Structure formats: structure tokens, C-alpha cells
Amino acid sequence: MDNIYLKLFLTFFKIGAFTFGGGWAMISIIEREIVDKRHWLDREEFLNLLAVSQSLPGILAVNISAAVGDRLRHTRGSICAALGTILPSFLIILAIAIFLTPDIIKTNETIGKIFMGIRPAVVALIIAPVITSARAARIGWKTISIPIAVALLIWSKIPYISNPILYIILGGAGGYIWFTRHLKSMRAAGTGRKEASE
């Protein structure tokens, strides 16, 4: 068995075991492991996979781990990475179901304090990848109005207007139109240079 499969499994197992707060809280840790530490992907490639993972149905953490595994070693890599992400949560939930009843969680002061202490850390883990993604996506003062406006419209709870799916579709369509126009202008500029050189 190729060592990369074991590394993929153990890397995502570690991430799954020590991350609280769901998919977004995992992103900064996944980015640090995959991009900064192991150099399996560059930052732009990772953010592209993150965008695809967000647009797909299912759990973000599993989607991104499967996408990273697929990029490195196709189907087998995807399975190893996804299993590494899922297994710690499964084992922890199984242990909680066996040993911790809802009454114990509510009444036990020590467990209550542990969960209270975890909450601020989860908020920080969610905010960190948002800032990193914004920088990598080159969101500056001129373009920051777009995510702010979308966030406010989603938060507004107005029927249809507050549906996040609407903005995913609009964002994809807008990106496609912009990229198509940009590609045409680049081709036109390239054709103009060739004609000028002739």
C-alpha cells in the first residue's frame, strides 16, 4: 500500500479528532496541514476545491477531504481521506451515546464548563478561514460590498430573497459571464498583437 494513503487517512483523522464546530471550523486546520505543512496543494488550488466542496450537497468537511484525496490519488485517496474525517466523529458520537446521557450533559457542571470553553474557540476557528479565503479570493475594499450585501440579504429572512441557493446560482452565473468575457478580451488582445507584429 502506497504510504500516501496512510498519510491521507492519518492527517484527516487527526483533523477530524481535534476539530470542534463543524466544517468551517475544520477549514483553517485542513489548509494548514494540506497547503502549509505537507505542500500537497497550493493555496489557490485548495481554495478552488473549497469552492466546489461548498457548492456540493453534504457535509463540507467530508466534501473537502474527499476532494483533496481525489486530487492526490483519485478514488482510493478520496476514500482514505473521507474515512479519516468521518471515523473520529463516529467514534466520539458512539462514546457519547454510550456514556453521556442528555441529563448528565445538562447537570454535570464540569462537562458544561468544558463546552462553554470550547464555544469561543469554535468562533475563532470559523472566522480564520473566512479571512484567509477573502484574501486569497482578492476581496478588497472595492469588492467587499458584494459579500456584505449577500450576507445581509440572507440574514433579512425575506421570502425567496434570503435563500442562499439563489446567491450560489447567481455567483456561478456571474463568474461564468465574467470569465467568458475576460477570455474573449484576452484572445482579442492576442490576435491584435499578432496582426501588429505581421
User: Which pLDDT tens digit goes with each residue over 162-183?
Assistant: 888 888 888 888 878 888 887 8
Query: Looking at residues 80-97, what average pLDDT do you find?
Result: 86
pLDDT at residue 9 above 80? yes
Cell of 159: 421570502
21-30, 80-89, 189-198: segment of lowest average pLDDT: 189-198
Cβ atoms of residues 67 and 52 within 8 Å: yes
Residue 122, burial from CB neighbour count under 10 angstroms (0-12, 13-18, 19+): middle
**Three-state secondary-structure class, residue 171:** helix
Return the higher-pLDDT residue of 110 and 7.
Answer: 7
Whole-number Å distance between alpha carbons of 15 and 144? 30
Q: What is the pLDDT of residue 3?
A: 84
pLDDT at residue 70 above 50? yes
Cβ atoms of residues 84 and 12 within 8 Å: yes
**% residues pLDDT > 90 (the chain):** 5
User: Which pLDDT tens digit goes with each residue over 12-68?
Assistant: 998 888 766 666 667 778 888 888 888 888 888 888 888 788 777 778 888 888 999
41: phi then psi, degrees, rounded to nearest 5: -135, 155
Q: What is the pLDDT of residue 161?
A: 85
133: phi then psi, degrees, rounded to nearest 5: -65, -40
> Euclidean distance between the first and final Cα of the chain, in Å?
57
- Which candidate, 25, 24, 45, places its Cα nearest to that of 34? 45
What is the residue extent of each domain of the chain? 3-138, 142-198
User: Which pLDDT tens digit goes with each residue over 121-161?
Assistant: 777 767 776 776 676 666 777 777 877 888 888 888 888 88
Residue 65, burial from CB neighbour count under 10 angstroms (0-12, 13-18, 19+): buried
Query: Looking at residues 64-86, what average pLDDT do you find?
Result: 90
Distance set, CA 13 to CA 64, 71, 81, 125 (Å): 14, 18, 8, 18
Q: How far is CA 151 from the centre of its chain?
A: 17
Per the listing, cell 487517512 goes with: 9
pLDDT at residue 1 above 50? no
Q: H helices of 32-163, where?
A: 43-55, 60-99, 102-107, 109-136, 145-155
Q: What is the pLDDT of residue 13?
A: 92
pLDDT at residue 194 above 70? no
User: Which pLDDT tens digit goes with each residue over 93-104?
Assistant: 888 777 777 777
